[in-house]
Amino acid sequence: MSRRYWLMKTEPSAFSLDDLKAKGVEPWDGVRNYQARNLMRDEMRVGDGVLFYHSSTDPPGVVGLAEIAREGYPDPTAFDPKAAHYDPKSRPEAPTWYLVDVRFVRAFPRIVTLAELKATPGLEHMKVVQRASRLSVQPVTPDEWRIVVALAEG
């Protein structure tokens, strides 16, 4: 199986690429969406590439690269009554929610804004450019990956 590619969204006020750079590796916890859960639990492999996307900021866009550092495992924050994303339906013996660990790779020399993604031929089918795209973990094709990296670093 060859390396695959993903886009992962985060609000930088909560967790930014700089935060990931400081930590090195971070568990991507708190995702409570079944499509995103399925991708993290079933599809992501160690070494897969991640476009790191900042949302709910001005401007939103891809700010750098990360990679999958650990494959899917149960999200411990779902079991913790004090955690923000606690889910009593998820139990350790039958977990509902999964996460992966993400490792910092590099920051782009400049942000590739959402507006730029929308204006770039070849990226029309990226989920993130589609209206009201709420999925916080999205697959990216190899061509889309190359185009975005070339925009930032080309």
The binding site for DNA (CB under 7 A) comprises 9, 11, 33-35, 55-57, 60, 114-115, 118, 128, 130-136
CB 76 to DNA: min, Å? 19
Q: By C-beta, is 55 or 120 nearer to DNA? A: 55
The tokens of 86 are what? 């606690």
Three-state secondary structure call for residue 41: helix
Q: By C-beta, is 77 or 136 nearer to DNA? A: 136
Nearest to 54 by CA among 20, 10, 6: 10
Name the residue with tokens 């079991």.
79
CB 1 to DNA: min, Å? 27
Q: By C-beta, is 47 or 80 nearer to DNA? A: 80
